[in-house]
Amino acid sequence: MANEQAVFKRANDACELCGNSEGLSLYMVPESPNDSDNCAIAVCSTCLPQLNDADSIDVNHWRCLNDAMWSQVPAVQVVSWRMLKQLEGETWAQDLLDILYLDEDTLEWAKAGIDDREPTLDSNGDVLKAGDSVHLIKDLTVKGANFTAKRGTPVRNIRLTNNPLHIEGKVNGQTIVIIAAYTKK
């Protein structure tokens, strides 16, 4: 079992991800090889709920990973890599992920915590990835926004959602959720 005091001491009584010192708690990294101090990190009350619930993620808060990903602590590297993977649709997160180096064992540990979900497919069965550009293949009435997204409208720099049947993208300056089958790469 990880020793909370030892982890907090290693972290200088600050969150190992964002540096905040308020509301610290011990976070055991999921899919860890054991339950030692090396598999736990100190996190603040801002980071913890976002680590446990992907729907509560504040994208801008995680820009702190620009510093955290260079930690010498493998558990911090793993959590940084996993969070950057979740934010892969953001250009800055993809850039950080591209320059982040993890040794083989640490990368294997990081990948163990990523669920292998179904790919998101467009109307032709092509796999969609975060950052792709697509076109709408039919008119879509956007509920709550009082406009219709016309067939052929380009949607650039899409983001994937937790549901492989949906994507997010901007149409007429508004971010909307689109059924992936109504798009074409």
Phi-psi region of 9 (alpha: psi -120 to 50; beta: other; left: phi over 0): alpha
Question: What is the per-residue pLDDT for 112?
Answer: 87
Could you list the pLDDT tens digit for every one of the 185 residues in the chain?
A: 678 899 999 999 999 999 999 999 999 999 888 888 889 999 999 999 999 887 789 999 999 999 999 999 999 999 999 999 989 889 999 999 999 999 999 999 999 867 566 789 999 999 898 889 999 999 999 888 889 999 999 999 999 888 889 999 999 888 999 999 999 99
Q: What is the pLDDT of residue 117?
A: 66
pTM reported for the whole predicted model: 0.63
Q: Which domain holds residue 62?
A: 4-112
Coil, strand or helix at 24: coil
| Amino acid, single-letter form, for residue 151 | R
Report how many domains make up the chain.
2
Q: How many Cα atoms are found within 13 Å in the side-chain-facing hemisphere of 88?
A: 15
Nearest to 88 by CA among 67, 118, 109, 57: 57
So what's the pLDDT on residue 55? 79
Q: Which amino acid makes up residue 52?
A: N
Q: Tokens 């619930």, residue? A: 53
Residues whose CB falls within 8 Å of the CB of residue 30, separated by 6 or more in sequence, listed in order: 113
Are 99 and 172 contained in the same domain? no
Question: Do 10 and 53 fall within a single domain?
Answer: yes
CA 56 remoteness from chain centre = 11
The span from the CA of 159 to the CA of 137, in Å, is 18
Say if residue 76 is in the same domain as residue 39.
yes
The SS3 assignment for 180 reads helix
| Structural element, H or E, at residue 136 | strand 134-136
Shared domain check, 95 and 16: yes
How far is residue 53's CA from residue 51's CA, in Å, rounded to a whole number? 6
Please report, for residues 47, 166, 180, the alpha-carbon distance to residue 126 in angstroms, rounded to integers and kept in the order given: 35, 14, 10
Domain shared by 143 and 104, yes or no: no
Instruction: Tell me: do 104 and 57 sit in the same domain.
Output: yes
pLDDT (0 to 100) of residue 37: 84
Q: Quick one: which of 112, 44, 109 has its CA closest to 73?
A: 109
Residue type, 103: D
Q: Do 103 and 151 reside in the same domain of the chain?
A: no
